[in-house]
Amino acid sequence: MKNILGVYSAPRPHWVGDGFPVRTLFSYDTLGAHVSPFLMLDHAGPHDFAPSAQCRGVGEHPHRGFETVTLVYEGELEHRDSSGAGGRIGPGDVQWMTAGAGILHEEYHAPGFSRRGGTLHMVQLWVNLPAKDKLSPAAYQTLLDASIPRVQLPDDGGQLRVIAGDYRGHRGPAHTFSPLDVWDLRLNAGATLELPIAAGRNSLLVVLRGSLRLNGGEALREGQLALFDRPGDAIALDVEQDSLVVLLSGEPLGEPVVGYGPFVMNSREQIEQAIDDYRRGAFGQMAG
């Protein structure tokens, strides 16, 4: 089994734009190399929005050097970016955006959802790019719920969706630049199970709803994150309540991480270059 390095509780929520009340469950600022190749995870909601004629969200802003992965549980979002890509996602869908060399984008509640109002519940993950891929062309993947493999866990333990990577031969649809797994799990109360994770990987388990116990003892409750050591090839779960869980694992990149707001590179000089490139319009323009 993988040893537990620590259990961390989410801080107080803050707003991103006027559409996303988020709690940052982890970031590279605090956990550093222990979470590589991942950088950050924001959990938004569940939050009830009243009907509105205006679409709430975050307006045009840049990114360089990493990827954003947005998974919606409730509500609807719309994305538009300077690569010409865009799309609308609803419950179960995922947007996987590669900022690469640079991109401008915006994220809003979808117009229909805004008019109706309702509950928004989602997570957004930042995934680092290896140094050799940081200036890759910007790209966008829409991963609809129907394209994501669903695996029934043994003994009525629940269901696992493979967004990226592999679970016992079931491969996720996301293209990734380094070996990693992103699994979305719905676990049934009373279940006891083991999840395989390759030795040598960093791994994190996040409980968005419910509660469980890890490796026969440590409690993990709603809004908490468990971080595991690299040796060992599995974690054991005893599920106390029906739970909504995200499991992340990946091979550490072992490279310097230097971030400044929406840019994540390997050196201060590269950050300064990103700022200069953005100011002179090298990230393109939003259509319309």
129 vs 237: CA distance, rounded Å: 30
Q: What is the pLDDT of residue 30?
A: 92
As a whole number of angstroms, the distance between CA 115 and CA 134 comes to 38
8 Å CB contact between 204 and 226: yes
Examine the pLDDT at 213 and tell me if it is beyond 90.
yes
Question: Rounded to whole angstroms, what are the CA distances from 55 to 32, 51, 106, 109, 141?
Answer: 35, 10, 12, 6, 23
Q: How far apart are CA 121 and CA 132, in angstroms?
A: 34
pLDDT at residue 54 above 90? yes
Of 258, 257, 240, 67, the C-alpha closest to 163 is 67
Q: For 59-93, write each residue's pLDDT tens digit.
A: 999 999 999 999 999 999 999 999 888 889 999 99
Residues of the chain with pLDDT > 90, as a percent, come to 96
pLDDT at 287: 78
d(CA 15, CA 20): 6
Phi-psi category of 75—alpha, beta or left, where left has phi over 0 and alpha has psi -120 to 50?
left
The pLDDT tens digits for 155-209 are 999 999 999 999 999 999 999 999 999 999 999 999 999 999 999 999 999 999 9
Per the CB < 8 A criterion, the answer to whether 124 and 68 are in contact is yes
- % of the chain at pLDDT higher than 70: 100
Helix (H) or strand (E) holding 116: helix 111-116
Q: What is the mean pLDDT of residues 96-114?
A: 97
pLDDT (0 to 100) of residue 200: 97
What pLDDT score was predicted for residue 288? 66
For residue 49, pLDDT over 90 is answered with yes
